[in-house]
């Protein structure tokens, strides 16, 4: 599979495809039923999994619940066991969509340096049309809470 991605290395699609496949594998494996407090951080606003949520749940409902170890819809685990970062995704519609899918409390700021510009990532977050509290949550409050950091 990797050979296909090496044809277009400048598009950097291989990591996203592999990471999303591994994340869905974790979701379907039942690991979060055994360890419900485990959290996973995915880059790039969730490696396209937010976009695939309906399809994942739909196919789990049709067949997956009979054949996969996971006891709940994939959406349940994605919303409860995953955080996503803004890394490499400085585009307002994408952030707004992921926020509508996961909620702003599951989004963490990141810049994807050296592949993307730190300055562009900060400029994007400073200017994206969200509330000040949402901006503060994404910039640092969500990470502080997730990692139990104190001031």
Using CA atoms, how far apart are residues 90 and 45, in angstroms rounded to an integer? Answer: 10
Q: Where are the domains of the chain?
A: 2-146
Q: Whose CA is closest to 129, among 89, 93, 87, 88?
A: 93
Summarised one tens digit per residue, pLDDT across range 13-61 is: 777 888 999 999 999 999 999 999 999 999 999 999 999 999 999 999 9
2-146 falls under which CATH superfamily? Metal-dependent hydrolases (3.20.20.140)
Residue 10 has pLDDT above 70, yes or no: no
pTM, two decimal places: 0.91
Find out whether 53 and 75 touch, Cβ atoms under 8 Å. yes
Active-site position among 33, 57, 112, 126 = 112
112 is catalytic: yes
Find out whether 109 and 88 touch, Cβ atoms under 8 Å. no
pLDDT band (50, 70, 90) for residue 69: very high
Q: How far is CA 97 from the centre of its chain?
A: 12
Integer-rounded Cα radius of gyration of the chain: 16
pLDDT band (50, 70, 90) for residue 9: low
């Amino acid at each position: 599979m990797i050979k296909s991605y090496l044809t277009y290395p400048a598009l950097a699609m291989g990591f996203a495809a592999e990471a999303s496949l591994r994340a869905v594998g974790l979701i379907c494996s039942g690991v979060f039923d055994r360890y419900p407090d485990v959290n996973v951080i995915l880059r790039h606003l969730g490696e396209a999994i937010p976009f695939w949520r309906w399809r994942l749940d739909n196919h789990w409902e049709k067949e997956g619940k009979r054949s996969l170890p996971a006891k709940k819809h994939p959406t349940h685990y994605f919303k409860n066991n995953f955080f996503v970062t803004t890394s490499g995704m400085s585009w307002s519609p994408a952030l707004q969509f992921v926020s509508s899918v996961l909620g702003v409390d599951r989004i963490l700021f990141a810049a994807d340096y050296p592949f993307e510009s730190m300055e562009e990532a900060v400029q994007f977050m400073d200017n994206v049309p969200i509330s000040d509290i949402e901006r503060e949550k994404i910039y640092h409050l969500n990470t502080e809470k997730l990692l139990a950091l104190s001031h």
